[in-house]
């Protein structure tokens, strides 16, 4: 079984299809057929996945997190010059908490970890109580406190919620994972509890209801410097960015999408006009919304320099420039977006994100100066290693 | 051994937030006449009398009537997998879809999983606002999708609106597609689980009707009926002596010395006795076992050893009424 990086799609071989009794007569959504009328091996959706898991005897996507997993990921972060990393959606089951605690207490652990509690597995009351307990266990490399809400799906999966005119290819509108009428209730509960929210919205309709919810919470219980952050927020238009600015929202834009799915967005999902404003870093910069950029690893590979390269060059994998004139960042802006601005969206800019007396000595050690190389070459700069809390670590080589 | 194990019926309960899904599931759990496994999104809303809860271990609530309620918070597929792996198969699996989810996506599991078959997709609609929801710019499409392939609509909360509004709500749902079956309900008038016996839907594109094994044919039933009462100590011994092929045993009985009848429920080797209010004073138990369950007469003999000496008088000094034979309808387990 091969699992796509999005986790939504898998491929299985003929043997698994046969054992699962998925064949040309199967009529459920999520079993994709080839031109020969037989299942191609691509499966999506809950029913097909359940069937395959039953045949395999277990869910290969579950399984418990181990200390080795976390240490391996910390090494990957070091290879890419990452010194602080988020885990932006986690139920934070007891075992995970224990693994994170054990991992982060080791001096050799080479990354600061910021897990976000998944709201879906808790009521706000439960989550607030759980976070109070978890925050008491924070240490210099483990920072609990934020909560993640997921409002819609993904654009490339046609599950993001879009405003008019919807999907360019006419696909029906996407899915709500939180009902629009429920969102303000949840947002207000966390907002009142003083918790910082990270809200996943891919489509602009989802972004709209998230902004509405934060606006309602700010009216009900005004709170300075809340820094609630919209995650992905890929299709927001300038008017939405202006509302974010006036409400004190931050945004973390998915710059890697321009490269990985830019062509699909141009041809299928958004069409030429809206594809140019995809992940509108330039608009955020001009309007003054605090913004970061991200890879959503493992959805796309972890590499902040590559993400910065995407935001600077705005070129798709097919070679098409998307909104380069209006949305591209300068190298300086892109480097801020992967360092101090990202720290700001986590309320950690007093600890990390810049080299400054009083803050942790966390650095990425690069083989070349990003200001000396051509903007097209930023992604090719080699990472020697990292310094985390003054502890020098050379990146492990394969 | 049979060639093909029996398949478990699955019912999916959908509907937008506030439609009354949990109220309906509470009703099914409380009144469950057979062993239901109910998978819910959120335990917080499940409201079962404490007296009906036999065990509650965080993710699973076991009721005294044999039903089990599981939270799918820990992962839906894992929870459903656990239910299917239970040694004693459940009589029915009922799954609550999320308020913004499409119940058909879950129903499809019952179409591809060989150990399951789809009984029905039931969608609840809140009569006070379904018409507005169907036209809502943000969620109208989500709500309309939920009804697309349902077998039955429970138009709920009709007690909160007048007849005119109920008609309007019903018309709005009926207009979604031809042949929509709508039943008006309220919190006080929730129906039992319908046996939809879907014929229209098959997992096969060629429309072959799946070879669904008849649940009852794969199991043997045993009915034990006696006047009088059990001796508590000897009953314990007798229950232990019952063969493992007996999967469960349920029904009313009276214990010598008690003033009222009790509900006896045994699942596997676990059993419980709960006082119930019922007019019957006699013993009427129904057991279900695998198809190699020993002869009924042999089972009768085991429980007969637990009978208390027939008292000449009841505790009020009157004459014990003669044993009354209660006719059993096919497939009905005589307890409430």
When mean pLDDT is compared over A159-168, B49-58, B62-71, B81-90, the highest value belongs to A159-168
**Could you tell me if residue B246 is left (phi over 0), alpha (psi between -120 and 50 degrees) or otherwise beta?**
beta
Residues 296-315 of chain A with CB under 8 A from chain B are none
Q: Are A252 and A233 a contacting pair, CB within 8 Å?
A: yes
Residues above pLDDT 90, as percent of chain B? 45
Q: Residue B41's closest chain A neighbor by CA?
A: A121
| Residues B106-140 as b or e (16 or more Cβ within 10 Å = b) | bbbbbbbbeebbbbbbbbbbbbbbbbebbebebbe
Per the DSSP assignment, residues forming a β-bridge with A2 are A11
For chain A, domains (ranges, CATH) are 2-56 (no CATH), 67-345 (3.20.20.140)
Cα A359 from chain centroid?
26
Which of B308 and A278 is assigned the larger pLDDT?
A278
Alpha helices in chain A (DSSP H): 14-19, 45-56, 67-79, 94-105, 124-135, 183-192, 204-220, 238-247, 256-260, 262-264, 271-275, 281-287, 304-313, 324-327, 331-337, 340-345
Distance from CA of B113 to the nearest CA of A (A): 6
Biggest alpha carbon–alpha carbon distance for chain B: 74
User: What Å distances lie between residue A373 and A158, A226, A366, B164, B273, CA to CA?
Assistant: 38, 37, 12, 74, 80
What confidence tens digit (pLDDT) does each residue in A166-182 have? 999 999 999 999 999 99
- A391's enclosing H/E stretch is strand A391-394
Q: Which of B77, B78, B138 sits opposite A205 (nearest CB)?
A: B138
DSSP for A104-143, please give it: HHSTT--SEEEEEEEGGGS-HHHHHHHHHHHHTT-BTTB-
Closest C-alpha among A149, A204, A213, A203 to residue A181: A213
Residue B182's Cβ-count burial label (10 Å; 0-12, 13-18, 19+) is middle
Question: ∠ CA(B316), CA(B319), CA(B321), 5° rounding?
Answer: 110
Is B80 part of the contact surface with chain A (CB cutoff 8 Å)? yes
State the best of B21, B77, B116 to mutate against chain A, taking most chain A CBs within 10 Å.
B77
What are the CB-based long-range contacts (under 8 Å, 24+) for A368-371?
A370/A305, A370/A308, A370/A331, A370/A335, A371/A331, A371/A332
Please give the Cα distance from A217 to A214 (Å, whole number). 5
The answer to whether residue B330 scores a pLDDT higher than 70 is no
Q: Are A275 and A320 a contacting pair, CB within 8 Å?
A: no
The answer to whether residue B193 scores a pLDDT higher than 60 is yes
Q: Residue A21's closest chain B neighbor by CA?
A: B112
Q: Which of A30, A46, A180 sits opposite B106 (nearest CB)?
A: A46
| Residues A124-146 as b or e (16 or more Cβ within 10 Å = b) | beebbebbeebeeeeeebbbbbb
Q: What is the pLDDT of residue B197?
A: 58
Q: Are B287 and B246 a contacting pair, CB within 8 Å?
A: yes
Residue B206 banded pLDDT, cuts 50, 70, 90: very low
Is B192 part of the contact surface with chain A (CB cutoff 8 Å)? no
The answer to whether residue B175 scores a pLDDT higher than 90 is yes
Q: Residue B201's closest chain A neighbor by CA?
A: A27
Q: Which of A21, A28, A176 sits opposite B114 (nearest CB)?
A: A21
The answer to whether residue B204 scores a pLDDT higher than 70 is no
- Say yes or no: ipTM exceeds 0.90: no
Tokens of B77: 């597929």
Which residue stretches of chain A have pLDDT < 70? Answer: 398
Tokens of A33: 């057929």
Q: Which of A48, A179, A205 sits opposite B99 (nearest CB)?
A: A179
Length of chain B measured in residues: 336
Q: Which of B73, B100, B105 sits opposite A46 (nearest CB)?
A: B105
For chain B, domains (ranges, CATH) are 8-189 (3.40.50.300), 219-304 (3.30.1220.10)
Tokens of A168: 């360019």
Residue B282 banded pLDDT, cuts 50, 70, 90: confident
Q: What is the pLDDT of residue B326?
A: 35
B78 contacts A26? CB cut-off 8 A: no
Is B128 part of the contact surface with chain A (CB cutoff 8 Å)? no
- Backbone φ and ψ for A175, nearest 5 degrees, come out as -115, 145
Average confidence (pLDDT) over B191-201: 68
Distance from CA of A46 to the nearest CA of B (A): 7
Residue A37's Cβ-count burial label (10 Å; 0-12, 13-18, 19+) is exposed
Is B99 part of the contact surface with chain A (CB cutoff 8 Å)? yes
The answer to whether residue B217 scores a pLDDT higher than 50 is no
Please give the Cα distance from A8 to A43 (Å, whole number). 9
The answer to whether residue B71 scores a pLDDT higher than 90 is no
The answer to whether residue B216 scores a pLDDT higher than 70 is no
Is B140 part of the contact surface with chain A (CB cutoff 8 Å)? no
Neighbours of A92 (CB within 10 A): 20
């Amino acid at each position: 079984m091969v699992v796509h990086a999005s986790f939504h799609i898998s491929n299985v071989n003929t043997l698994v299809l046969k054992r699962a009794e998925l064949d040309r007569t199967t009529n459920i959504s999520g079993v994709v057929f080839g031109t020969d009328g037989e299942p191609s091996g691509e499966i999506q959706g809950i029913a097909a996945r359940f069937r395959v898991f039953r045949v395999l005897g277990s869910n290969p996507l579950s399984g418990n997190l181990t200390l080795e997993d976390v240490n391996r990921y910390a090494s990957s972060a070091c290879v890419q010059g990452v010194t602080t990393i988020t885990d932006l959606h986690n139920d934070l089951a007891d075992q995970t908490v224990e693994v994170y605690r054990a991992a982060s207490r080791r001096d050799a652990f080479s990354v600061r970890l910021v897990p976000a509690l998944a709201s879906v597995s808790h009521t706000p009351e439960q989550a607030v109580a759980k976070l109070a307990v978890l925050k008491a266990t924070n240490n210099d490399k483990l920072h609990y406190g934020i909560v993640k809400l997921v409002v819609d799906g993904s654009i490339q999966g046609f599950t993001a919620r879009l405003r008019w005119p919807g999907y360019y290819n006419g696909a029906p509108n996407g899915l709500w994972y939180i009902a629009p009428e429920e969102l303000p209730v949840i947002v207000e509960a966390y907002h009142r509890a003083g918790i910082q929210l990270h809200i996943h919205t891919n489509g602009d309709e989802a972004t709209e209801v998230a902004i509405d919810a934060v606006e309602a919470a700010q009216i009900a219980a005004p709170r300075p410097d809340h820094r609630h952050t919209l995650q992905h927020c890929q299709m927001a238009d300038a008017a939405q960015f202006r509302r974010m600015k006036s409400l004190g929202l931050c945004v973390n834009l998915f710059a890697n999408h321009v490269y990985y799915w830019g062509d699909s967005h141009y041809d299928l999902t958004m069409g030429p006009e809206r594809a140019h404003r995809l992940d509108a870093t330039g608009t955020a910069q001009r309007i003054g919304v605090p913004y970061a950029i991200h890879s959503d690893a493992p959805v796309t590979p972890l590499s902040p320099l590559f993400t910065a390269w995407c935001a600077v060059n705005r070129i798709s994998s097919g070679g098409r420039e998307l909104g380069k004139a209006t949305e591209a960042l300068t190298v300086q802006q892109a480097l801020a977006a992967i360092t101090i601005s990202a720290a700001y969206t986590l309320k950690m800019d007093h600890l990390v994100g810049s080299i400054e007396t009083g803050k942790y000595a966390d650095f990425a050690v690069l083989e070349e100066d990003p200001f000396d190389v051509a903007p097209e070459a930023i992604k090719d700069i080699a990472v020697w290693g990292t310094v985390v809390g003054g502890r020098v670590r050379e990146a492990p080589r394969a | 051994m049979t060639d093909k194990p029996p398949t478990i019926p699955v019912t999916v309960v959908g509907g937008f937030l506030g439609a009354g899904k949990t109220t309906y599931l509470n009703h099914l759990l409380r009144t469950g006449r057979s062993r239901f496994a109910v998978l819910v999104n959120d335990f917080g809303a499940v409201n079962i009398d404490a007296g009906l809860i036999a065990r509650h271990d965080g993710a699973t609530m076991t009721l005294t009537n044999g039903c089990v309620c599981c939270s799918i918070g820990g992962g839906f597929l894992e929870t459903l997998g656990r239910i299917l792996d239970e040694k004693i198969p459940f009589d029915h699996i009922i799954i609550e879809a999320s308020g913004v989810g499409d119940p058909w996506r879950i129903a499809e599991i019952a179409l591809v999983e060989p150990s399951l078959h789809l009984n029905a997709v039931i969608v609840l609609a809140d009569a006070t606002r379904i018409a507005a929801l169907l036209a809502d710019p943000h969620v109208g499409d989500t709500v309309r999708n939920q009804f697309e392939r349902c077998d039955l609509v429970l138009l709920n909360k009709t007690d909160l609106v007048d007849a005119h509004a109920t008609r309007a709500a019903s018309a709005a749902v009926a207009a979604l597609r031809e042949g929509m079956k709508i039943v008006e309900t309220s919190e006080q008038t929730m129906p039992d689980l319908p046996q939809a016996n879907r014929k229209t839907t098959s997992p096969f594109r060629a429309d072959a009707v799946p070879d669904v094994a008849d649940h009852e044919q794969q199991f043997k039933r045993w009915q034990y009926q006696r006047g009088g009462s059990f001796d508590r100590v000897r009953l314990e011994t007798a229950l232990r002596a019952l063969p493992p092929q007996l999967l469960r045993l349920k029904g009313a009985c009276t214990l010598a010395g008690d003033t009222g009848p009790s509900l006896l429920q045994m699942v596997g080797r676990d059993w419980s006795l709960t006082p119930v209010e019922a007019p019957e004073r006699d013993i009427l138990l129904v057991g279900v076992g695998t198809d190699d369950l020993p002869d009924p007469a042999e089972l009768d003999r085991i429980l007969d050893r637990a009978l208390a000496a027939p008292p000449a008088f009841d505790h009020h000094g009157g004459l014990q009424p003669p044993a009354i034979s209660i006719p059993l309808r096919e497939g009905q387990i005589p307890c409430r």
